[in-house]
Amino acid sequence: MTDPQFPKPFWQTKPLADMSADEWESLCDGCGKCCLIRLEDEETGEVHNTDAHCKLFDSGSCECKDYVNRKAVVSDCVILKPANIKALKWMPRSCAYRLLSEGAELPEWHHLRTGSRDSIHEAGMSVRNATVTEEGLSEAALLSRITLWPGEPGWED
């Protein structure tokens, strides 16, 4: 039974579709993995992450440099919504939106659990300071930059 003095947090009680805009935005852990360039194997359909990032991504802050206008600047940037998160199979396994849409709990390093936006970086679960810009990279160069990231398929501790 839940102690009324310590009610459950919103992400444990509200479906994604019922969250306020602020609650929804607060879920993003700032991992930066969804801003990586991904390559799809045409034969298998398998999606591979690289260590190259979207031109609008800031590696040092691990954030989009123009979040409000991101879709206007990068037309193929995907705006996450409760209605599309389940269909986006390439979203990182550690992504808070993906986890909640699958009925899982937020990881122990998530800032809503720790109270610190730094905890994801300290846990090694973000791509901060570990990527290069996509700009100027050929397809062949991108192929050579396929990278396994912590928490994602193929990664082993």
| Residue ranges that bind ligand SF4, judged by CB under 6 A | 28-35, 54, 56-57, 64, 70, 74, 77, 80, 91-92, 95-97
- Could you give the C-alpha distances from 120 to 28, 54, 115, 131, 139, in angstroms and in order? 11, 20, 11, 16, 31
Strands 47-53 and 36-40: antiparallel
Least separation in angstroms between CB 31 and ligand SF4: 4
Determine the 3-state secondary structure of 60 from DSSP.
coil
CB-side neighbour CA atoms (13 Å) of 132: 11
> In the complex with ligand SF4, which residue's Cβ is closer, 1 or 68?
68
Which residues are registered as beta bridge partners of 60?
none
> CB-based contacts of 66: which residues, under 8 Å, 6+ apart?
56, 73
> In the complex with ligand SF4, which residue's Cβ is closer, 14 or 93?
93
> In the complex with ligand SF4, which residue's Cβ is closer, 33 or 121?
33
Least separation in angstroms between CB 48 and ligand SF4: 16
> CB-based contacts of 86: which residues, under 8 Å, 6+ apart?
101
Least separation in angstroms between CB 54 and ligand SF4: 3
> In the complex with ligand SF4, which residue's Cβ is closer, 7 or 69?
69
Least separation in angstroms between CB 27 and ligand SF4: 7
> In the complex with ligand SF4, which residue's Cβ is closer, 97 or 109?
97
Least separation in angstroms between CB 5 and ligand SF4: 30
